[in-house]
Structure formats: structure tokens, C-alpha cells
Structure 1
Amino acid sequence: MTRDAPPPEVLSSRLGYLLKHAYLRLGEESARALAPHGIDGRELAVLAVLDADDELSQLEAAGKLGVDRTTMVALVDALEGKELVERRRSPQDRRKNIVRLTPIGRERLRDAEVARQEMERRFLAPLSDSDATLLVRALRSLVSAPTVPESPESP
């Protein structure tokens, strides 16, 4: 499927196909919007999570983001290299690293969030405002829902 071509008829109602291609397009648009800010979508998510809480350790932030410890260390290392975050030992527990945004990190977060919001508005432009709100609400419900175990097959 090319970017502007509709999906083949046989795939046009398959949820997995549609979600995959919508995600790929969103990823491309997100990368383009964030490139001038020198970060990617994962790094922006880390900055946003750290900004929302004053005292998060690397491990706590990893849990909120749903990433493993190794991935989180690599993300924080990259952000620290860009001078967007800093690690400090927790005064309560010297084994923990608290990760905080630097002043440059706060400014970068603010600017990148504006770019992200504008990109999302453009991405959702084919939908009415109410449909865009409904889509986000539906996706939030799907992401938040507990995993439903498979039902045993009936004889």
C-alpha cells in the first residue's frame, strides 16, 4: 500500500492491518515533527513522564513507560548526553538514581510538545473533532483494559 492509496479491499476491514498502517504513518509524522528538536518519540515520552513527577527513579520511570531496565538506562544515557536530564542519588536511598529534567530539558519538552500536538492535529484532520476524540478515547480504553484470557474451546 502506498501512502496515498487506500488499502486493498480484502484488507480494508482488518483491524490489525489498519492499526499497523496508521501507526506507521503516525510514526513517520512524529519523527518529522520532533527531528528539529533533536529527540524522538520515546525520548519525548521519557521527558513527559519525568516532568509529571518530581522524584522518579530510573526504575520507577521505566515502570510507568512500560520499558525494561536496560532500555531505560539507554534512554536516560541518551537524554543525559543531550543535557536534557540529570541523574542524582536519592537522599532517602543511595542505591537509587533520581532522574530529573534540566532547565534545557524542560524547554525542549515544552517546544517538542507543541510540535507533537500540532502533528497530531494534522494527523487526525481527516476525522471530525468528535470522531478524533472518540478514537483517542477508544484507544485509551483498549490500552487500559486487562488482558482477556482465551476462552476454552467448546466441544
Structure 2
Amino acid sequence: MPTHRSVVSAATLFEFTNALQPVRRIWVQAVNMALADFGLPASLTSALILAARRGEEGIRQNALAEEVGVNPGAMVRILDQAEAADLLERRDSPDDRRAKIIQALPKGREIARKMEKAVDELRAGILGDLPSQDIETTTRTLRLFEARIGQYLQQERSGR
């Protein structure tokens, strides 16, 4: 958490925090439109892309649920669909028998690669004319905001 107060006005901070949800919502809508031709539910496309990015090591099921933004029960249903379509597989974690590792299967990796290309084109079309420095600054700011929120929540949960 910051040790000194910023000179940023309360109104500016309000505008920043209030812009997050609408931007996220319309970004997800745009991605869903860009990926509509793949014929997969939005939550499954996210899970597939994230698992494929992890390569051979895969990703823990609970971490995947968190990254996709769904509860663990919903993730089970998503994974059932993905396994039925031969896109993803669940396997036991070598270091924790209670945990499952999710890994993209060859068909899933190929579809994920095509979906990533479509989303890359979408990003370039929407953001490609912005200065790289602006994108980098915004990304740093959002990641710092995320980290500070995490610190705040951890402090609050532990009773400070």
C-alpha cells in the first residue's frame, strides 16, 4: 500500500475505478463476437486458451477457475464439456492427489492457437494505433492496482 497520499483528485480516482467494469464488459463482448465462429461457450474458450498457454505443465483446476472468473462448480461443468469435445483433459497432480491439472489436448491446442490469432487481430484493430508507451503505462497501473487490492484484501481478512 502507498505510504504517502497522491495528488490525484478523488474525482479522477473515481473515474478510473468506475471505468474498469464497463471496459471489461464490452471487451468480453467483443472477444465473444470475434470467437463466435468457433461455436464454443465463452467460458470454455477462456479456459481453453489459458490451459493451452500453460503448455505441457498445464494449470491447476482451481487456478484456472480463478483466472476464468468462475466458481469451482462451474469450472467442473466447463471441463466436462471440454473433455467431451476432446479439447482439454484433467489429470491428477503429481504433488497433490486432491488437485487436478488441466492440460490442452492436441485438438484443443490447435483451436486455441486459432482463437489467439483472432483475439490478437482484435487487439491490434482496437489498440494498434496507440503509442506502445501508453499501453505499457496502463498495464503497469492496472497490475499495481490489482496487487494493492490483493494486499488490502489480505490485510482485511487477517484482521490487519
Normalized against structure 2, the TM-score is what?
A: 0.66
Of Structure 1 and Structure 2, which has the larger fraction of its residues in helix?
A: 2
> What percentage of residue pairs aligned between the two structures are identical?
28
Q: Is the 8 A contact 2:58 2:104 kept in 1?
A: no
What are the within-5 Å matches in structure 2 for residues 2-13 of structure 1?
none
Q: Indicate the structure whose relative CO is greater, using CA pairs within 8 Å and at least 6 residues apart.
A: 2
Q: How far 1:143 moved relative to its partner?
A: 2.0
1:103 aligned partner, one-letter code: P
Cα distance in structure 1, aligned partners of 2:41 and 2:74:
14
* Gapped regions of structure 1 (runs ≥ 5): 1-9, 151-155
* Gapped regions of structure 2 (runs ≥ 5): 1-10
Q: Is the 8 A contact 2:87 2:105 kept in 1?
A: yes
When residues 31 and 88 of structure 1 are mapped into structure 2, their CA distance, relative to the original with a 3 A threshold, is same
What is the SS of the residue equivalent to 1:83? coil
When residues 137 and 57 of structure 1 are mapped into structure 2, their CA distance, relative to the original with a 3 A threshold, is closer
RMSD between superposed Cα atoms in Å: 3.3
Cα distance in structure 2, aligned partners of 1:62 and 1:75:
10
1:44 aligned partner, one-letter code: T
Cα distance in structure 1, aligned partners of 2:103 and 2:115:
17
Structure 2 residue 113 is the aligned partner of structure 1 residue 110: yes
Q: How far 1:108 moved relative to its partner?
A: 0.7
Normalized against structure 1, the TM-score is what?
A: 0.68
- CA offsets, 1:28-66, max 9 Å, x none? 211111112233553333223323152544335335656
What is the SS of the residue equivalent to 1:100? strand
Q: How far 1:100 moved relative to its partner?
A: 2.2
Q: Is the 8 A contact 1:86 1:100 kept in 2?
A: yes
Q: Is the 8 A contact 1:86 1:99 kept in 2?
A: yes
Cα distance in structure 1, aligned partners of 2:97 and 2:16:
47
